[in-house]
Structure 1
């Protein structure tokens, strides 16, 4: 018993020291400071290894658990603020990032299977709030979120009925075919659009299925333009987006209506506003204004009234004489045009340039509408001036045509004027005469010596089967590109197209595929007579040894298979295509590029029914006597001469001379009728209204600007009349049609 108590007494100081250390560690962890108890208080006796002091003295505190751990792991418990490290029991959830992708979306206004035609149409759609925009879509969006984002960027889609679909285009440049982007059971998703657009690299086209969106220009404060950067027009002060400012600057006409402060008077150049009396105010020295009446006189060229003082200046620049039909069309256009008011400068083009001519059923009327709208669009561009010296040789004249139509970066729909050096004729009749000369050069050839002959034709072959010449020098000089510009430029000013081309060539020129062109080939399309005869041998049921050798030589020279008993039909098509299309593909591409330069390519693609107008058959452009007689407006009453003091022509003489003219037309050949039309109006193109006047003069005279033919009244026999008419018609090549 005594032994047990002595063991308990010996272990008691050790337990007490352990208790003290544990308490200090807990207090240290709880942020409290614990004082070390005295040995007398804790155990009632001194602890070994410690000095004994008074009752107020304390024992040095033992090291804490943190201090002990700091000695053992200094790299973990290096700072007092650091706590124990390790995994937390509950970690904070990490924020998830939603990926997005930017797509190029192009909204089209109507159902179509092709991409937009040109940059002009893209600018037109931009003014209507459609066209191309960049849209950011999230990867977790469904069809409803995508549709809401589209409606936010394109507000016009909110009113669209009938549904829409996404389309994508095939590779390449120019106008391409559209293929639909199939949607899943839940509609369009992010993954569907991302795969169809190759991660946003390709454009997605949004096409309405049933309804058409309006392409009317929107006001500049529309929601579609809210995010676009804007600037003020320096002419009219209107705030508009940068994208539309370039178009507005070209057509802003504010300066045209503002008079210069340095001008003392304003001369009115509009003959419609000219009255029988014009008041011209002059300021006297006393500061008083007096009115002086100025009488108007008629311009002999355009038949418009101008003040007497202004008539000499107007006559020096007059060349815009119009016939009755053109005058009526201009008056109708002026009545239907929108009056310029403060606002968007393209308000006058509220009707889209393509809407009227695309919906017109008559192809001729569609061409006329397209021509008028394009000329109106470029009416303020710098004038194109072509000067021909009538005293030059034919080679020099042809060189003038080539230099003019080979110029690059030219707006061919700009106002066009022609000048004939050595001829007093001016006006639109001269323009028609020069354009007729240029078109005639395309069929007959230019007088340039390229090493083979003095006359170099661009097209060769027989009637209605003309194909581009195979001469390599013509392709290197890009003369076929010049030919395309001549065709388009002649079309702008109401001329006829290029007649007599092969149907296969016309198919390729108007954007057709090669298979359709091959199907339209005939043996007459081969311009080389020797090759034509050789290829035609394959149509014979049996060939002689000499004929087989002849065909085989041609096949080997063109790297084609030689004939056998089963491949005659196939070999015939291969040789025919090689002779016509393969050798003429580069010239056809150059002509097509020239047509695109003039701006008529949208009409060619959109209206296949106008192809026969641009490239007619020879028989359709030939003049007939009956058609020409029906278009003549015969004089119904006594015609006065140009001089007021002369006596009027008797009705008997008028009837006699007009009868001679009718007989001359009825007996004339197509070649003579063509020359007569050139003499009468300036070109051989059929005209709806022709006017005849019988006057007191010596020889026949043609006022081409007014479509008027003046015949002398002194003819008593048809023989004398015919001789003078033949003499007058012979002057169209050397002069302008005056004797």
Structure 2
């Protein structure tokens, strides 16, 4: 029999079955319409006899009407009785219990999203900066049956900024120990990261897993308090703006919110307002919250006085002085004292560079006040007033301010080593972006010109570059490396052997060395590390040179580099003073 004949035969059988079913349904409908009950075909004779008896009992002389017979069962029962295989769904045999399924156990894993590829874990202040940018740590519930796709969706829900990465990401695990630790990559399985793998590498959630982008870098600018990343964080209201702010970001928000909410009164009536014409209805609390500006003698609130003082400089009608120094004028100096006296003579005493600063956080506040001053130039006579302190600057307050600022510049913008032979600029792009190094150069010139301390805390190679501006003339050695991590790397390379030098390959390549990593190439490797440590500081020194152009000092340094060397590079101090006695005095114990 061919396939076509078999198909035709099956179609004929199907047609017969359908015809039989239609006949059966029509028969049931007729019987339901006639008597209201359904009986089996085998009991048709019994149905006729019972039907005859019911007619005799239901028809009587008194009623004269036909009564409807009482149904013995529902239609479903009759259909189940006639077709037990179709309408009876009861299972035969013993009734079994529902099989027990063990619930899936979940465990918490701490994930930390980094902004870029790192070889070590971030520091404490960096962690807070990442949290404010919507990155940082999240605790997520993970099961062992979790797949890579489910893990990706879970991380995207916890870190919305992770969705902007197109170059992929990997998981890293930190090594043991405290402080900054090295990161080791967690290679994914053939089907990606799974819940069982995460449970194993994290020690059942005890270790933090770091998410690192491979080819891109995430922006670390702080997000607004109502960002999606802060929805699940605990929040508290800010008393200044009444906005709900995450607790981690609340200290920084309070500081910035107060600066934004400062009210500056620009009308002449408010600027000339004094306590003599103050309203008698003014309360004692309101009087205590106001301060007199030492420059214009106006009354302002304590929150607004500092910002007002930055724009309230006293200036005469003279034009700004652009001082230029020719080579002929700067070649006759015989000593460093003569150079300092000449710089002092370049100060414009007819104009005043006025600052009103607070002793709290003097470095950042002083830098900001210096940069905001627009009514006069920093080569004018410096006048300083401290907030909350009465007094007129006749020279002592400005010297105190310059002394504190030069000391803060040395501590905040420069870093030294144990040999105490000078410091290098700190590799800080934030300070470079805010022009702090240029402002530091202007403060140094003002300090030398107006009786302040000398900035003699730099390395000699830094001073030589400030004089020439040519990076090809820089001569550095391993002693000029003041960065602790790079100095430690140089020490490890110097001690390395053939067995363990390969462990330092990543750090060596990160310093720009592209040759073969071996013990025979130690000198070349250390030279590359030294150049990497010093050459990356050239932008900071270039910005510092722009500040040193004040009062023509940079031109003097070019033509008299040896005479200006003691003003910037530390040396032997032979003066006998109190500091000399304290350094030389040593107790003699019996």
Q: TM-score range by the shorter chain?
A: 0.3 to 0.5
TM-score (norm 1): 0.34
Q: Larger Rg: 1 or 2?
A: 1
TM-score (norm 2): 0.42
